[in-house]
Amino acid sequence: MIFSQDIGIDLGTSNTLVFVKGKGIIIREPSVVAVDQRFSPVRVVAVGTQAKEMIGRTPGSISALRPLRDGVIADFDATAEMLKKYIRKAITASPFSKTRVMICVPSGVTEVERRAVNDAAKSAGARYVALIEEPMAAAIGAGLPVENATGSMIVDIGGGTAEVAVVALGDIVTSRSIKVAGDSYDEAIINYIRKKYNILIGERTAEDIKIKLGSAYEYESEGAMSIKGRNLVDGLPKDVEITSEEIREALSDCVRQLVDSVRITLENTPPELAADIVDNGITLTGGGALLRGLDKLIEKEIKIPVHIADNPLDCVVEGTGICLEKHH
């Protein structure tokens, strides 16, 4: 019989990950919920990958939604249901055991919403619940020396938000959050293709193009791909060939906003800590860190070395896991 169980959760705007002490990451699913609108309160019919596949192709009464859109909890009931499903899946200990859950929530989440996340975790069977701030979890998961007096800079680029933060002595010294992240990159691609070719593509196609072809800086093996969309002139399906240079141009404005955010955060950092960052470099985490050449571009613009964390998509949940272990 297990008397205690530690669970870490990264409740991200794009992906939710669950870490169980002793087992590692056991859940890695998109933060998507499919609900049946005919019921009140709405009934959740699917979560995660199964729900994501329904986006844009659901029958009348069912709609697939992202409850944490834009870095805030846009749909609280759906978020709570999703969280409960994942926690119940992770808990294998007896109901009388001490299940402790550490949850990382986007930094835009309000006090009321934080309390609600806490309640949802408790009603799913967690005995103790603690919340951790996203940049801190990302920095810990990336292996940065957050407890040291030395300043470290972490840039976490998720779906709804990008967070830039300087951490030292176990705390966040300065931080900045912008709502220009992975989702905005996808939108920028949609807008670019609509304006230039009069073709409308969906969100999932845009994300696919970003991952296959997107970049922030020139790279080897640049290329092109054929994409399918709807011709806005006659409404019929149409193919068009898109190059990596075009996608880089489409993303340039979003990327520039990220660079500006890094620059402003550095300007707001006390000089001693800024000097540490110049020596130690900037670390990128989150799915957006995988955009080709983003590290190179920031390095060139800010003139400070930039490193991509190992497994950038896992840093936050690993950070929650490490935090739980330290607290025991």
- Rounded distance between C-alpha atoms, residue 234 and residue 3, angstroms: 64
- Rounded distance between C-alpha atoms, residue 197 and residue 211, angstroms: 21
Q: Select the binding partner of residue 58 from Mg ion, ligand ADP, none (C-beta < 5 to 8 A, by kind).
A: none
For Mg ion, the closer of residues 15 and 215 by Cβ is 15
- Minimum distance of ligand ADP from residue 12's CB (angstroms): 2
| Omega before 41 within 30 of 0, i.e. cis | yes
For Mg ion, the closer of residues 151 and 158 by Cβ is 158
- What is the 3-state secondary structure of 188-243? HHHHHHHHHHCEECCHHHHHHHHHHHCECCCCCCCCEEEEEEEECCCCCEEEEEEE
Q: Find the binder of Mg ion among 5, 9, 12, 103 (CB under 5 A).
A: 12
Q: Residues in the site for ligand ADP, rule: CB under 6 A?
A: 12-15, 158-160, 182-183, 207, 210-211, 214, 286-288, 290-291, 313
The interface with Mg ion within residues 287-316 (CB under 5 A) comprises 316
Q: Does residue 186 contact residue 210 with C-beta atoms inside 8 Å?
A: yes
- Rounded distance between C-alpha atoms, residue 283 and residue 314, angstroms: 14
For ligand ADP, the closer of residues 259 and 290 by Cβ is 290
If you search the block for the tokens 């670019």, which residue do you land on? 192
Q: Select the binding partner of residue 15 from ligand ADP, Mg ion, none (C-beta < 5 to 8 A, by kind).
A: ligand ADP
- Minimum distance of ligand ADP from residue 10's CB (angstroms): 7
- Minimum distance of ligand ADP from residue 15's CB (angstroms): 4
- Minimum distance of ligand ADP from residue 170's CB (angstroms): 22
If you search the block for the tokens 């593509």, which residue do you land on? 201
- Minimum distance of Mg ion from residue 129's CB (angstroms): 19
Distances (CA, A) of 254 to 186, 294, 303, 304: 10, 11, 19, 20
* Residues of the shown chain interacting with Mg ion in the complex, contacts defined by CB under 5 A: 12, 158, 316
